[in-house]
Amino acid sequence: MCGVAGIWNPAALASGESLSLRLSKMSQRIAHRGPDDDGIYTDTYVGLAHRRLSVIDLHGGHQPMMSSDEQLVVSYNGEIFNFVELRETLVEKGWAFRTESDTEVLLAAYHHYGEQFLSLLNGQFALALWDKRHKKLLLARDHAGIHPLFFTRQGGEVLFASEIKSLMPAMHHSLQPDYSALDHIFTFWSPLPPATGFQGVEQLMPGECLVLSESAERRFVFFEWSYPPSGQERRDSPEQLAAELREILEDSVRIRLRADVPVGCYLSGGLDSSATTALVASMGKKPTTFSLNFSDPSVDEREWQESLYQHLGVAHRSITVGETEIAKGLPRAIWHTERPILRSAPVPMMHLSSLVRDSGFKVVLTGEGADEVLSGYDIFKESKVRHFWARQAGSQWRWALLRRLYPWMDLGSLNYLKRFFGQDLERLNDSVFSHLPRWKNTAQSKQFYSDAMRSKVSGSAMDAVERWMPQQADQWAPLHQGQFLESRLLMDGYLLSSQGDRMLMANGIEGRFPFLDPRLIQFANSIAPSRKLPGLNEKALLKMAVKDLLPKGILNRPKQPYRAPDGTSLASASFMESVLSKRSIERGGYFDAKKVEMLWRKAQAGRLHAMRDQMALVGIVSTQIWHEQFIEGKTDFINVAA
């Protein structure tokens, strides 16, 4: 994966030791992303720093890398999976390569194709490419937002880095909260891009390039996450679509196995990770699989994991995480997420990546992205039911549909769901209709806000997200509107960052995502909702595409979202009394100290049963820790081992 950092100034940077020292300090803050090598490049207008995790061309891929004519320099984080094919094309065009690395392919591709080279890349990356001849700097982020890239402006400078903490040593002032962005987290689980949670710090959007030059600044999008107008989607037979999906997915897995180090597989026991692991095995390889187990049986999936790794006959390693490990790991996880979180789920993922590291691996394939791209989440089925409810207000099937969605729930729970999903049915035609109940449930955590916090939040989060949606979304089918929100808000803003990249890179591990191949995204986005989600059968095409590879139990298993013990896991944490003390709460200013104390006592008494209360406690505690680390600068714990 690696990490990048840098400084740009169109009026020339202060040169010499001071610039190198600033870059070195920026680099040191993200040493966990690249423990194998580091490098610095300085020029009149730009300084680039790089931390390397060696995966391809272990000896020849040092960065920042310069072209043979010394007119191009690149520092980038990630992998270009189709670099072999691009390299062959560029050799035919006369480029002579000095290394076997994908990094040099980036330089050659830019040399031959200019800025449009980005649309040729099949990979995951955040890059800074300096074109010395034309005095322009390109900052770009991959199509799905797998790798992060942040930037901020001060004076005439632009500072940029893979993580916000890397910006801090080069800034002339301390970080300050963006209260509206924090309010978005307490609604959507992530800020609305390009906001980050800090004033003046932005994130580059997925599929976006920022071009900085002496005379101008431009942005352009090289990958659009979009859908056809409703009624114009592909409606080929399910068999044809499943065959195409299998072909694309096989090639996506094949090129993501390209590495000069062993590649393992995450195995949750669900359909997605089982499919990627089985595809690897079908190619004649025997990947080592890595699984996360919980001491709490209600969220543990080890029986399904065992079913698959025994079926495939592959080596398997697992780690069991309990409430103690979650509580102890939360401060370190927040240092890596760089934002408050509402669920404890990232912490066990950090422990899982430490298992991968300790097992001698650097790279793992994961099943992330399949639910967003191929319609796997319950929220898509719930939205479909709610659309039926809104159109058939008197239908006797309304109750029966809840039974089909949640057959394991008792009558009391179903009564709650009937009230929960019956909200906002009059807003059927809103482009954000699918997510309204979830967002409103999350937003109940705001009851713990202080008056000061409420006064600092600018505008309604719900109004902001409607403005954030693309104009063409009104033309999309309801399922596609929901998929866009999951893919470009929750997946990019939370799953691939707080739960993905950050927890992987905390331990120097590169995750690869076959379901987020740009070819697969474009293919899946073109398909009619009735083919992707026939009735209430989630990921129907994927099940059909891999039915010959997996045990029937896994194929037919109902979707079980990844969950971890939440607020209850924090009750015994040693830091709780400190971060939730009246003094600490009032110093931060985000929450009402009396209300927080009541919630904390409720948790201590073991009465934190409602999910909204658990989310509120995790959100409050993580915000307090985040404030101490990034706003007050208490970072003594940074080097504490996982």
pLDDT of residue 535: 92
DSSP classification of residue 192: P
Cα dihedral across residues 267, 269, 275, 281: positive or negative: positive
Residue 324's nearest CA partner among 351, 343, 301 is 351
**What's the full length of the chain, in residues?**
642
Residue 344's nearest CA partner among 496, 567, 503 is 567
pLDDT of residue 394: 66
What distances in angstroms separate CA 161 from CA 28, 148, 172, 631, one per listed residue? Answer: 12, 8, 16, 18
Alpha helices in 423-494 (DSSP H): 436-442, 451-456, 461-468, 478-485
* Residue located via tokens 């482009």: 431
pLDDT of residue 562: 78
Burial category of 313 from C-beta neighbours within 10 Å (exposed 0-12, middle 13-18, buried 19 and up): exposed
Q: Per residue in 129-186, pLDDT tens?
A: 999 999 999 999 999 999 999 999 998 999 999 999 999 999 999 999 999 999 999 9
> How far is Cα of residue 374 from the mean position of the Cα atoms in its chain?
17
pLDDT of residue 640: 43
Write out the DSSP string of 563-597. Answer: ----GGGGTT-TTHHHHTSHHHHHHH-SB-HHHHH
Residue 42 has phi, psi (to 5 degrees) of -130, 145
- Are 514 and 249 spatial neighbours (Cβ–Cβ below 8 Å)? yes
**274 CB contacts (<8 Å, ≥6 apart)?**
267, 268, 308, 367, 550, 554
Q: Please, what is the Cα angle at 499 between 497 and 505, to 5 degrees?
A: 70
pLDDT of residue 642: 39
Averages of pLDDT over each 10 residues, the chain, 642 residues: 91 79 96 93 95 83 92 96 97 92 96 97 98 97 97 95 97 95 97 97 98 93 97 98 98 97 94 96 95 86 88 94 92 97 95 97 97 95 88 69 69 70 88 95 96 96 96 97 97 95 97 98 98 95 97 85 77 88 96 96 87 93 97 70 40
Burial category of 141 from C-beta neighbours within 10 Å (exposed 0-12, middle 13-18, buried 19 and up): buried
Angle between helices 238-255 and 518-525 (to 10 degrees): 170
- Are 371 and 539 spatial neighbours (Cβ–Cβ below 8 Å)? yes
- Are 629 and 334 spatial neighbours (Cβ–Cβ below 8 Å)? yes
Cα separation of 492 and 486, whole Å?
A: 8
CATH number of 3-221: 3.60.20.10
Count CB-CB contacts under 10 A for residue 489. 22
Tokens of 603: 């948790």
Spans of all domains in the chain: 3-221, 567-631
pLDDT of residue 77: 94
- Are 189 and 490 spatial neighbours (Cβ–Cβ below 8 Å)? yes
Cα separation of 75 and 54, whole Å?
A: 14
- Residue 95, CB-side half-sphere exposure with 13 Å CA sphere: 23
Tokens of 491: 């997946």
